[in-house]
Structure 1
Amino acid sequence: MSSSSRSLALAAWGDPLDGATWSGTPKNIATALRGLAIEVIALDCRASRAMLGASYALDRARGFEIGYTRRRLARAKCAELATSLPQNCAGILHMSSVTVIPTSAECKARQFLLADSLHDFWQALHSQRTTRYTPKQALSAELLENEAVEATDIAFPIGEHVARSLREHYHFPADKIHVVGTGRGGIKVLEGEKSYDSKQVLMVAKQRFHDKGGPLLIEAIQIARRTDPAIELTLVSPDEFRSFAEGAEGVKVLSDLPWDELQRLFDEAPLYAMPALCEPWGLVYAEALATKTPILGLDRASFPELSGDGRYGFAAPEATPESVAKTLVDALSNPARLKTMGAEGQRYCLEHFSWERSARLIAEAVWA
């Protein structure tokens, strides 16, 4: 088969070619695959709002949560769309496990899974997403996740911690796992020199404020300022999270920023902090590294990988305000160290985080 005749379907809850779907990840992957002369077939597996509402009403009466309904409808829609795929289509690349067609449906297409997390991740780290689950809901979510993994031919985790989950928790064959990473968001690479003399910490959080460590960081800033009053936080977030910072000294909340202003904040920040309690990847960490900004997070999930095990960032050992505060004070105490970490972090970022690289690794495994 010539390279020009290759095609691959992309499935998502939403239009994979719409930049609003999963923060633009499917669209970015699709663009990069097309750059490799691979035809992309978009499979929008989203149910209509009316169907989702009616189906959820029935499922809720049986004790299930909305995620169960969404997955049930998505994989049924995907199974229907899969029947009309052309012969030269290598299979379906699912943008999450939600759309993976179970083996019981006897799908003839090969199935590939791009995953930033699986259910065990959210359950283990007590995300707000899962703490409200009843025992029945937690069990059904895990069973459905196992069905998705079982039906997967090749898995493409974006990080090493997801690869470990696949191997150790879901017992997926190691030789069918290929870590592919991601690209970066819209923040541009910083050219030239950068000053690290200020102590203005930056955090950006558009959603899942608790999971991303927003309240934890605000409290940590208060403690850090007792040691160094020059430490301040610029928090970019929607107005709905502004109340978390009320009365907090040294914390400035900005909302609805134009893109060039957000770029300026990244370019000028000596440190990006997001002590995420439950964040599967954190594309924003890579964006910070692209602007020569060292990163600060918790020693869990993807952060050790993204920070180069401490070469490009600082990991607080505990998810407490005191631990994060101590890490903040230490990180900002040495501008020369920040400069070195920023330069090395940017090199690492540009070498490892691009959508072209992710697409190439996916294509190499699919057409091996």
Structure 2
Amino acid sequence: MTIPFLIPDSATPSGGTLYDLRLARAWPGLRIVALPGAWPCPGPAGTRALERALDRVPDGGRVLLDGLVACALPEVIVPHARRLRPVVLVHLPLALEGGLDPDTARDLDIRERRVLESCAAVVATGRWAADHLGARHGLPEVAVVPPGVASAPLAPGTSPGTPPRLLCVASLTPRKGHRVLFEALRHLTDLDWECVCVGPGRPPPAPAGVRFTGPLHGADLDAAYDRADLLVLPSLAETYGMVVTEALARGIPVLASDVGGVPEALGGTSRSGTPGMLVPAGSVEEWSRALRLWLGDPRSRHRWRVAAHARRATLRGWDESAHALRHVLDQV
């Protein structure tokens, strides 16, 4: 018997969507049910689709819900929680999304708390995220199921004599911090570099040398990683940062904001050193300084690359993530 896994029906790639789909692929015991709507504000059609999906679960049955689907609709989830065993997988607390006005953020926070308090279990995608959710909503226990990563060949990067290439894989939203990255790059016009930004959204103003590709999938995304020398992730808020481990799986070092669960994704030091650097979120000055260090010092680039190759061997696969989630659901 499979467990329904209710997720947003979205053609726009995101870390949360990829996590859901890869987890279900690794564990056939999950059955994806994609719900229409602009979640977490789905409108009447999306709300009805959620209600119908929950109505089909027999009394006492287990159901797994993506937090985007569940957390904004306590009026739907709480009544069903009295007869079902719902488990909510939270990728990002709703109020942490960038660009929200204070009243909207406060309302989403209250709604999320009501939903999570009613559920049989709550799952977060990392230790930092679990601790944050527990403290934010007074939850006695939050399970941790970190993302896995698929094995990948080492990325060759750019050829000698060509400008080093930075790669940013992130939706073009305020929370991802592209503005900070671009301001930092404007201070580095005396150095050779190019920066490729992959992700959905409207491109913001950027300095010369920055190129936007829009969202990429499959072989096209693999090719973008293959040609990268450094992954940059300037997020202002991040519960984990799957693109960090996606880069490390290819031996690509990382420069990222020291925020949320990103240090967890980057991992600790090894004999080879740290596979990158963490800098304060939102600090143009610190981002500029770190980029100048990496761009201007070939020895630093080599050390980071060697450490990234070492970190690559320690990454967990999606089968381990699926096993961890199955253990949580078996306890419900």
Which TM bucket (shorter chain)?
0.7 to 0.9
> Which residue, out of 201, 210, 214, partners 2:178?
214
Q: Distance in 1 between matches of 2:43 and 2:120?
A: 19
The AA in structure 2 aligned to 1:46 is: P
Distance 1:206 1:338, change over 3 A: closer
Q: Distance in 2 between matches of 1:71 and 1:343?
A: 46
> Which residue, out of 92, 102, 120, partners 1:117?
92
Percentage of pairs with the same residue:
18
How far off is 1:299 after superposition? Answer: 0.8
Q: Distance in 2 between matches of 1:72 and 1:184?
A: 36
- Is residue 2:46 matched to residue 1:78? no
Q: Distance in 2 between matches of 1:193 and 1:106?
A: 50
Q: Distance in 2 between matches of 1:356 and 1:270?
A: 28
> Which residue, out of 231, 243, 254, partners 2:193?
231
CA deviations on 1:103-158 (whole Å, 9 max, x unpaired) are 34453111111111113433xxxx12x1xx352x3332121111111112122201
How far off is 1:274 after superposition? Answer: 1.6
Q: Distance in 1 between matches of 2:228 and 2:65?
A: 36
The AA in structure 1 aligned to 2:167 is: M
Q: Aligned residue for 2:240?
A: 281
Structure 2 contact 68–94 (Cα < 8 Å) conserved: no
- Is residue 2:36 matched to residue 1:46? yes
The AA in structure 2 aligned to 1:201 is: R
Please give the TM-score of this superposition, normalised by the length of structure 2.
0.81
State the secondary structure of the residue aligned to 2:145: coil
> Which residue, out of 26, 31, 55, partners 2:25?
31
Q: Distance in 2 between matches of 1:251 and 1:261?
A: 18
Gaps of at least 5 residues in structure 2 are none
CA RMSD of aligned residues (A): 3.3
Map residues 1-368 of structure 1 onto 2, 5 A cutoff.
Answer: 6-14=1-9, 23-34=17-28, 38=29, 40-46=30-36, 67=40, 69-70=41-42, 77-86=49-58, 90-99=61-70, 101-105=76-80, 107-122=82-97, 127-128=98-99, 130=100, 133=101, 135=103, 137-174=104-141, 177-184=142-149, 189-191=152-154, 200-205=164-169, 207-226=171-190, 229-237=191-199, 240-241=202-203, 244-245=205-206, 248-254=207-213, 260=219, 262-309=221-268, 311-332=274-295, 333=297, 334-348=300-314, 351-352=315-316, 354-368=317-331
Aligned residues: 318
Structure 1 contact 13–45 (Cα < 8 Å) conserved: yes
How far off is 1:326 after superposition? Answer: 0.7
Structure 2 contact 154–249 (Cα < 8 Å) conserved: no
How far off is 1:321 after superposition? Answer: 1.6
Structure 1 contact 90–109 (Cα < 8 Å) conserved: yes
Distance 1:287 1:82, change over 3 A: same
Distance 1:258 1:269, change over 3 A: same
Structure 1 contact 202–273 (Cα < 8 Å) conserved: yes
Structure 1 contact 12–46 (Cα < 8 Å) conserved: no
Q: Distance in 2 between matches of 1:19 and 1:345?
A: 29
Distance 1:46 1:296, change over 3 A: same
The AA in structure 2 aligned to 1:92 is: V
Please give the TM-score of this superposition, normalised by the length of structure 1.
0.74
Moved more, 138-147 or 205-214: 205-214
State the secondary structure of the residue aligned to 1:9: strand
The AA in structure 2 aligned to 1:178 is: A
